[in-house]
Each structure stands twice: as C-alpha cells, then as structure tokens.
C-alpha cells in the first residue's frame, strides 16, 4: 500500500492493518465497571469504520485509583462482558488492547470511597486531597494488581495491553521529582523513580508471557514546572523498551499543566515533536497523539518520520468512518472533530456519558440507524444554524424532500459567532461539513430567504410542505439597564459578525459570548507576521515592546461581570485556557460589578469599591440571549391541519450548540 496511513505495521507480535490508533478515551459508559452494550456498540462502530487498533480504557486495576463510569479489570467477574467486547471489535477487523489505569493522587475519595494513594503524601492539584503514601509492601501489591489486570486482559482475548504511565497518574507520579519525595529505592534519582514503572512492566511480562504485546502511554513532556521534559521522557522510553515494552504511545502533559493540550486553540499536531523526540531514542514503534485532526496531517506525521502510528481519539468519536473515508472506500466527507470538548471532555469532567457536538449518534450506537421514511414528505427548515442544518441532514438522509430557508446570505447561524474569535475558527468546519452533506443529499438551500407567516403559508400551498422545522435560533437580549440616547452601544453578536468598534471598549456580561468577544477584540491590531519580521530584522523595537505589542493589540478591552467570575458557562476543559488568554491579551476583567447606566462617555457601575465611571468609546452588550419565537407566534392558529411544526434548537430555549444539534437530530430521526 502506497498510502503511509494504510500500510500495515507490527507492534510486538500484533499485526495492524493500518497506522490509525484510537487511544483510550474515558467514555463513562460503564456505571458498574462492567462492559455495557453501549460500550460494545460504540467500539463496534469504530472497528467497522476501519481503525487499525482500539485501546479500550482506562481500565481500573483496583478500586482506589479508578474513576467514575470506568471499565474494571480488578475481578474475574468482568471477563464474560470483556470477551463480548473483544469479539465485537474483532468481528469488524480491528485489533484491541486495554489500558491499565491507576490515577494515584488524581483519584477522588468522593467517588471511590477510599483515600487515594501515591508515592508521597502531597496534596492533589485536582482534588486537593492528600493521598496515602504507599508503603513498600503496598507497592508490591500494587504492582501485582497491574499484573493481574494484564492477565485478565489476555484471558478476555484482547490483543495486548497498555500501561498508562503519563498524564500525572500513579506511574508518572513515581517518575516525577515533583510528586515523588520518597527516600527508599523508589525515590531519589531517575533510575530509582523509574523503578516502579519498570517493575510493573516486569510483572506484567511475567504474567502474560514474552509474546503478548505491551505498550506504554507516556508524557512526551510533563509541561509542569519542575517536572520532566522530553529529555527525561526519552530516557524513560528507552528504559521501557529495554524492559520489554513493544511500543511507546506519546501524549502531552499532565492534567494539571497550564499548557493547553487539546483545546481548539492548540494548533493541529502541535505536539508531534514530542513523539519525534521519543522516536529518536527507541527502536520500537512510536505513536503520536493530540490534535491530529485530519488524515492528511496524520500522513504527514508518518512520512516525516515523527512517528510510526497516529492516535486519533476525538476524530473517531466525531466520525467512526474516518479511516474508510480517508482510504476512499466511503465517498462521503469526514465529519470533523472541531476540538470544542463540549461533548467529550466536558462530559467526562461533569461525570456524564460522553457525546459529541458534531456527531449526535456518538454513544447512541445501540439505537437503530436512521430509518428510511415510510412515506417521504416535503419538509421545510427555517434557519440554517447548526440545528437547522442537522435537521435537514437527517431528514434528507431518511429520504424526505428538504428545503432550507436562511434569511442571511451566510449559513451557520450562531456558529459563525462562536467561530469568530481567534483560535475558535475550527467551529466553521462543522458548518462546512453540514452544508456539504446537505447539498450532496439534495437539500435545496435558499440563502437570503427570510420566512414570514405570510410567505410561509403561501409556500405551503404552492410547495406542499407538510412538515416545517422552525430553527430561527435566538436573539441577543435587550439591555435591562438605562441606556442614554447618545450612548454608543452595540450587541456582541454584531461585533463578532464584523462590526467596527472603537479603541477603548467595555463589554458588559462575562458569559461565554462576553469572553469570546473580549478575545476577538483584544486580538485585533496585534502585529501581523510581516510587520513582526520587519521589526525584528531592523531591530526597530526591543523584545519587551514587541512582546507587549503582540499580546495586547491596539484596543483596550474591559470585561464587566456582575457575578464572581467570567466564562462560567464555558466547559471546564476550555474555560481555564480562555481565561488564561484574557490575561495574556491584557483584557481588564471586573467582577462583582453591576452596571447602573450606559452613557456617551462610558458606563456607570457599582462595585464593592463604590460607584464609578468606566470610560469607553464603545460599549458592547453581551448579557445573554432569548429564544427568537416571533415566527412561531405569528404562525399560531394559522397552519393548515395537515402541516406539523417542529421547533428545534435555540428557538425553544437558548442552549449550547451540542444540545441544539442533539435535539434537532432527535426530532428529525422521528
Ligand atoms: Fe471533537 Fe467536540 Fe466532538 Fe469532542 S465534542 S469529539 S472535541 S467535536
């Protein structure tokens, strides 16, 4: 095979048909620890879609370091269902291994009911709990728990096993000088700190024999101050190889790192260099991971020699058939993961089952596929935001004759606003996908076509529409505070749509739209690459000034919020990175600040410090949105009896894109 992505590869004794790996992804589909039908069908779909290797997990090796909704490998009672999972994946032609997981001090007693354990009793940065320091005896027992879980993996029929030795979990806690303060043979210098991992590997080898493939997932760089860099990671990888590990799976840093790893603002494949570093140190295959967003990029990683395989977890959550599509066996476009984390990581952190913003079917593979409609209908969708387009996609897939009316000339609705700020542009990839699929399925999309009760009723008569989806979305809320006549105030939605603002802007409302608008504005006017190059070459500015210019832009932006924090409706996996960006761009954030009035020279506010005026040459309102139900109201009692109306998405109640898409999918399926 000439395509590097689809050339076979061997890991130990395991032959893979291609280079695409689905790394372990916590899905939260197994509430009792036992494999569920939901998990089996989820992975069966990915195997059917052509992935080479599925890594299932993390799988708890005990009850102290596991996590909510996680598969358990600490008892033989789990074997029958694990065997069914393996059979399902094998029947579709993929290989599968487990990932052995022990969270160490990242585990939470709130969930496990047990005090977490760690090499040293240092408070967890995630849970603030102080773990129990493992005694020498307990370390031996822990190593045996890993070995027993590996043996069960083999018994269940898996093709191999992976240890999770990165991300800040137990094995990496032994490895790092930050979390390992032991004075026995498991602490001190690097060889001692590696001892636990290497003994785990040796015990697993003893339990499963020399031929059972064994992988290790490591951090290519901890990205934690004082932690390991790629230099130590190479030494660790080399030691793992010498101990009998058959492949190294390289990821980014720990959970507590302040370096974004997989949020939308991380450039695609930004961490491929970490895999490259490891590859230079070992001769076993190396897997690169993190934000490998397309098959083209994956091929580039392989051909450039940065890695031997590519890990694509979220892209396969978004589109199980990515491999077949990339190989040309399925002509339909790949449904792109946009890096939003709304359905995957945010759900995991909330303790709910994983879903996907762009793939409403993810996690629902036990439900039957969209059935062809028994009697195809003529369907109109009003509004081409994500909900409207998803409705059109599913309805047309079922064989209905679908027309979409969109009042603007640009499709995508509020996705266009969410995708306006710097580093949030991947959102547009979803709209592009929906448009492409809808058009390929014969949906008639009418741009610049506003719907009124009158023209819609006339259309019903002329076109014979029997089913009408109303996806008119939401509208920005009117300010609830006094606005003087000569005040310069505009809506955040207009700014995100491209409206010019002044140099000194105050944004009212610190929700997600306010934060996005602040970042969008604060980023304007920073140096472009050409100017920067000119200034550097001509040494026209000092580095300090350049850094300031780069980070600040030429607008002064203030974000005013009446509660205690901003971005509180953003998902936890993304919020921290966006708040860090606010700081980096020097946006002034004022919390506990109530707006009293907006005037021509700025806004008058009340805060714990008293009343004051915040000067502004433009005020931007980002205080929220309301459902746009005008058309629904206008149509009330006017529709002919044969016509059914379906309100979908934000027109019911403003919600996250994920929820709007899911509700549109559900209605269209029915
Ligand atoms: Fe990608 Fe967002 Fe789907 Fe997660 S929810 S897989 S980040 S598109």
Pair 337, 430 in one domain: no
Mean pLDDT of 197-221: 98
Q: Which residues line ligand 1 (CB under 6 A)?
A: 314, 317-318, 337-344, 356-358
Residue 204 falls inside a structural domain: yes
Q: How confident is the model at residue 526 (pLDDT cuts 50, 70, 90)?
A: low
Domain annotation covers residue 630: no
Please check whether residues 556 and 522 belong to one and the same domain.
yes
The protein residue with its alpha carbon nearest to ligand 1, atom 8, reads 337
The CATH number linked to 63 is 3.20.20.70
Residue to mutate (ligand 1; options 341, 353, 434; most atoms within 8 A of CB): 341
d(CA 136, CA 131): 15
The answer to whether residue 350 scores a pLDDT higher than 90 is no
C-alpha to C-alpha distance for 291 and 277, rounded to whole angstroms = 18
Mutate to test the pocket of ligand 1, among 358, 424, 658 (most ligand atoms within 8 A of CB): 358
Question: What are the two backbone dihedrals, phi and then psi, of residue 123, each rounded to the nearest 5 degrees?
Answer: -60, 140
CATH number at 518 reads 3.50.50.60
What pLDDT band is residue 91 in, cutting at 50, 70 and 90? Answer: very high
In a mutational test of the pocket of ligand 1, which residue from 42, 311, 356, 661 has the highest number of ligand atoms less than 8 Å from its CB?
Answer: 356
Q: What is the CATH number of the domain that holds 422?
A: 3.40.50.720
Asked if residue 362 is part of any domain, the answer here is no
Interacting residues of 444 by C-beta distance below 8 A, sequence separation 6+: 402, 403, 404
Q: Is 305 within a domain? A: yes
Q: At 418, is the pLDDT very low, low, confident or very high (cuts 50, 70, 90)?
A: confident
Residue 480 lies in a domain: no
Residues 95 and 11 both lie in one domain: yes
ipTM over 0.95 threshold? yes
Most confident of 225-229, 243-247, 341-345: 243-247
What DSSP element (H or E) covers 132? strand 132-133
Place of tokens 């700020």: 421
At 527, is the pLDDT very low, low, confident or very high (cuts 50, 70, 90)? low
Strand ranges, E, within 519-609:
556-560, 588-590, 594-599, 602-607
The protein residue whose alpha carbon is closest to atom 6 in ligand 1 is: 314
Say if residue 108 is in the same domain as residue 187. Answer: yes
| Per-residue pLDDT at 448 exceeds 80 | yes
pLDDT digits (tens, 9 = 90+) for 289-330: 999 999 999 999 999 999 999 999 999 999 999 999 999 999
How many other CB atoms are found less than 10 A from the CB of residue 251?
Answer: 24
Same domain membership, residue 146 and residue 271: yes
Cα-to-centroid distance, 487 and ligand 1 (Å)? 41
Note whether 513 and 535 are same-domain residues: yes
Domain span at 417: 378-475+643-669
- Quote the pTM value: 0.92
Answer whether 291's CB lies under 8 Å from 267's CB.
yes
Pick from 157, 177, 159: which is nearest to 229 by CA?
177
Is 242 in contact with 280 (CB distance < 8 Å)? Answer: no
* 359 assigned to some structural domain: no
Q: Is residue 87 in some structural domain?
A: yes
Residue minimizing CA distance to atom 3 of ligand 1: 356
What is the tally of structural domains in the chain? 3
Same domain, residue pair 398 and 463: yes
Kindly give the distance from the C-alpha atom of residue 454 to the centroid of ligand 1, in angstroms, as a whole number: 40
- My answer on whether 117 and 221 are in the same domain is yes
Task: Judge whether residue 545 has pLDDT over 80.
Answer: no
In this structure, are 317 and 189 located in the same domain?
Answer: yes
- Do residue 596 and residue 662 come from a single domain? no
**Ligand 1 atom index nearest CA of 343:** 5
Residues 576 and 467 in one domain: no
Rama region for 269: left / alpha / beta (φ>0; ψ in -120 to 50; rest)? left
- What is the whole-number distance in angstroms between the Cα of residue 359 and the centre of ligand 1? 8
Q: Which of 46, 339, 572, 574 to mutate to test the pocket of ligand 1 (most atoms within 8 A of CB)?
A: 339
Ligand 1 centre from 30 Cα, in Å? 20
- Please check whether residue 444 lies inside any domain of the structure: yes
Tell me the C-alpha distance between 430 and 322, whole Å.
15
d(CA 218, CA 454): 62
Mean pLDDT of 137-166: 98
413 and 555 housed in the same domain = no
Among protein residues, the one with the nearest Cα to ligand 1's atom 1 is 337
């Amino acid at each position: 095979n000439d395509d590097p992505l689809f050339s076979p590869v061997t890991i130990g004794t395991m032959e893979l048909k291609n280079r695409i790996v689905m790394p372990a992804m916590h899905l939260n589909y197994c509430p009792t620890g036992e494999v569920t039908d939901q998990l089996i069908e989820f992975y069966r779909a990915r195997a059917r879609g052509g992935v080479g290797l599925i890594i299932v997990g993390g799988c708890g090796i005990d009850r102290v370091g596991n996590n909510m909704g996680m598969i358990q490998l600490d008892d033989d009672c789990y074997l029958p269902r694990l065997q069914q999972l393996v059979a399902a994946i094998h029947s579709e032609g993929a290989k599968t291994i487990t990932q052995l997981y022990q969270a160490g001090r990242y585990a939470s007693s709130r969930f496990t009911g047990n005090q977490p354990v760690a090499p040293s009793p240092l408070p967890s940065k995630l849970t603030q709990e102080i773990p129990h320091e493992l005694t020498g005896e307990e370390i031996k027992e822990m190593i045996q728990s890993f070995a027993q879980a590996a043996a069960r993996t083999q018994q269940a029929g898996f093709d191999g096993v992976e240890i999770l030795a990165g991300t800040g979990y137990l094995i990496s806690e032994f490895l790092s000088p930050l979390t390992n303060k032991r004075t026995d043979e498991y602490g001190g210098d690097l060889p001692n700190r590696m001892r636990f991992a290497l003994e785990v590997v040796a015990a697993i080898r003893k339990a499963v024999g020399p031929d059972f493939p064994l992988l290790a997932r490591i951090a290519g760089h901890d990205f934690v101050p004082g932690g390991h860099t790629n230099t130590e990671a190479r030494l660790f990888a080399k030691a793992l190889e010498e101990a009998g590990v058959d492949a190294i799976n390289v990821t980014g840093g720990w959970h507590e790192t302040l370096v974004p790893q997989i949020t939308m603002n991380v450039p695609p494949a930004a961490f491929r260099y970490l895999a490259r570093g490891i590859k230079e140190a070992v001769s076993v295959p190396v897997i690169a991971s993190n934000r490998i967003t397309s098959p083209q990029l994956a091929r580039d990683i392989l051909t450039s020699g940065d890695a031997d395989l590519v890990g694509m977890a979220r892209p396969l959550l978004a589109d199980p058939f990515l491999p077949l599509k990339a190989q040309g066996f399925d002509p339909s476009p790949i449904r792109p993961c946009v890096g939003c984390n709304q359905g995957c990581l945010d759900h995991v952190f909330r303790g709910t089952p994983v879903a996907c913003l762009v793939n409403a079917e993810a996690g629902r593979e036990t439900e039957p596929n969209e059935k062809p409609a028994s009697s195809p209908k003529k369907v109109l969708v009003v509004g081409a935001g994500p909900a409207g387009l998803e409705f059109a996609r599913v309805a047309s897939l079922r064989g209905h004759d679908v027309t979409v009316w969109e009042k603007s000339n640009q499709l995508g609705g509020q996705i266009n606003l969410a995708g306006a700020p710097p580093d949030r542009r991947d959102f547009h990839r979803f709209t592009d996908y929906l448009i492409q699929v809808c058009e390929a399925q014969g949906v008639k999309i009418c741009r610049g076509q506003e719907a009124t009760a009158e023209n819609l009723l006339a259309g019903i008569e002329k076109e014979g529409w029997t089913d009408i989806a109303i996806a008119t979305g939401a509208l920005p809320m009117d300010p609830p505070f006094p606005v003087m006549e000569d005040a310069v105030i505009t809506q955040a939605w207009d700014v995100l749509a491209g409206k010019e603002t002044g140099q000194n802007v105050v944004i009212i409302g610190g929700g997600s739209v306010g934060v996005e608008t602040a970042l969008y504005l604060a980023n304007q006017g920073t140096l472009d690459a050409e100017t920067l190059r000119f200034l550097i070459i001509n040494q026209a500015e000092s580095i300090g000034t350049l850094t300031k210019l780069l980070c600040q832009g030429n607008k002064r932006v203030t974000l005013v919020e009446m509660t205690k924090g901003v971005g509180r409706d953003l998902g936890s996996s993304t919020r921290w990175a966006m708040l860090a960006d606010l700081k980096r761009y020097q946006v002034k954030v004022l919390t506990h600040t109530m707006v009293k009035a907006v005037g021509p020279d700025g806004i008058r506010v009340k805060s714990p410090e008293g009343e004051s005026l915040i000067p502004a040459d433009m005020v931007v309102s980002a205080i929220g949105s309301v459902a746009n139900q005008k058309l629904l109201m206008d149509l009330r009692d006017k529709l002919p009896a044969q016509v059914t109306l379906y309100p979908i998405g934000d027109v019911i109640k403003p919600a996250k894109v994920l929820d709007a898409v899911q509700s549109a999918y559900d209605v269209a399926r029915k």
